[in-house]
Structure 1
Amino acid sequence: MEMNEQIDLIIAKKLVGEASADEQRLLDEWLAADTRNQAAYDGIAAMWHQSDDLFNSASFDTGAAWQKIAPQITAKVPKGRTIAMPQWTKYASGIAAILLIGFVLMKPGADSGMVTLLADAGNSEVILPDQSKVTLRKGSKLTYPKTFDGAQRNVSLEGEAFFEVQRNEAKPFVIDAQSVSVTVLGTSFDVKSGTTGATVTVASGKVRMAAKQANTTPLILTKGEHGDYTGAELKESLLEGDNYLFWKTGVLRYDNKQLAFITAELSHYYNTQITIDNNMPANVQAQLITINFNNQSIDAVLNELCMVANCRIQQNGGKYVIMPH
């Protein structure tokens, strides 16, 4: 069973009847993903309903109870990893029910006003205070305020994430992506950040991408366009298809592409060395291939590719060579 802080909070909000439609959808997806998830939720819900009288009685002070258990919770959670809990006292009894069966939530620092989400166990989805949705790639970190009170909606990203931003022309959404700054009003796009370079790929709407250090002209990117910052300059290009979201969807689609193009992309997306043997016939390399992959291992992908392209795979450790038959 897989559990994370975002699901913990949604369950607590569900128990008190305050989960949003998007949060309910995320909870439904988590429940459907594994029968053990449903069993865990049923146990929490049963414990919650059995304890209604206790938590709602005049003699039970949920605020005081939270103050008693909060130091124990924060001591168990790695420093810096928090989760937003707007008006958290309303969920204290729901959270207590979760804690009773071994799940841990953490109240954010009262004076920081900031929330940090680390996707350490896998991709993670979070709903921001403005109802924008962010899918955070495994190993990435997102920091955002508990409320967007200023003239801008500012967040910071380390790693890669896909943003679906709620439109608000009066309050731009600004991402500090380490080496670049990304500004939007309302759109969906992918950002991969780094200290020396970054990429932005737009799925819908319009995005402004600006380098933070280099003296370069910002890019204005629209649907299907890709911005790349290499540390020295910003470059814009057109992007075909949505394979750039492979990390999120697990899906790759190729329509009339040459073998070399496909293997180069597979090498990139699977972070694996894949080369074509120098003796591969020119007609095999030049053939146009149409093929799709859906959440398959690299071995299954390459075997399927070679069945279509009339070649074979030679593996040496973690490296693959596509050989002629």
Structure 2
Amino acid sequence: MNDKELPEYIKRFLSGQCSEEDLRQVMQDVQENKNLEIYNDYLKKNWLDSLDLENTAEEEQIYNEESTRLLQKLTRKRTVFQRLKPVIAIAASILVLLGVVYGSLKYKSFNQIWQVDYAEIQTGVGETRTVTLADGTQVTLNACSKLVYPGQFLEDERKVELTGQAFFKVARNEDKPFIVHTDRFNVKVLGTEFDVRAYTEDEILSVNVESGKVQVDMPEAMTRLVANEKLIINTLNNNYYKETGSGNVAVWRSGNLLFKKTPLKEVAKELERVYKCKITFKEGQSFDNLISGEHSNKSLESVLESLEYTSAIYYTRKTDTDEIMLYKK
């Protein structure tokens, strides 16, 4: 068969410009023992051309993992070993080429088929947003938060990156754990509902479980939480502890505020994110108060007045900058 008689998808594959659908047809050819001579000749040539390439240890690991996974997919449907021999031979050659692609820009267009596009969603001051991921997982972001996530979950794990706070309603998939990566810890689940608070500037971080179970991996420890349990992490002293919650998980979704022995300066940061204000503290005074209480859809003034009543923390507004200063009498 000369080049003009080749199917278009084979021509694109041989030129290194194939699409995901083209690659799927090539894999089907291999499984059905079609056009093997064409693929053999092409892959042998590329293998010889690539002998001078050196892959890093990381690239070799990626190749080994990918080759094992793809080879299993290619051979899973066949049950008689003798029928597998030609398929495995060509499949191995294709996977060798895939390994070469990881180490060489020459075959970058082929490698792009296996790359995943990432999306990003952010919220501003006083804003919440909800996004549904490719697997059906729903994520609601609190104010001043960012979520980075793949357009498709093609790996063995479903990984996303969170900065800020978000409530996750994870679609269950026991074969693909869902992992929320933050700067301080990772949360691993199979399918559950939970809240993660991981603002980089905050002293207190937390994971609060509404239903199901989660695993929290920290640099120095690992712990598991079940429904109605909350993990509190203090970033200043690296202490952490569990507490049994009251069932009020992510009340911020309804516009409410909930503080439970929260340092006053953390409360101030939360108010700045929710009400788009600037809060300072009077110089020369110490503010080590721990604040507790829930505020249901209240205005900023109502929250500040509550602080005055419960903690003797007063406030004043600077008329020139509209800045709020907290002080003690």
**TM-score where L is the length of structure 2:** 0.48
> Rg larger in 1 or in 2?
2
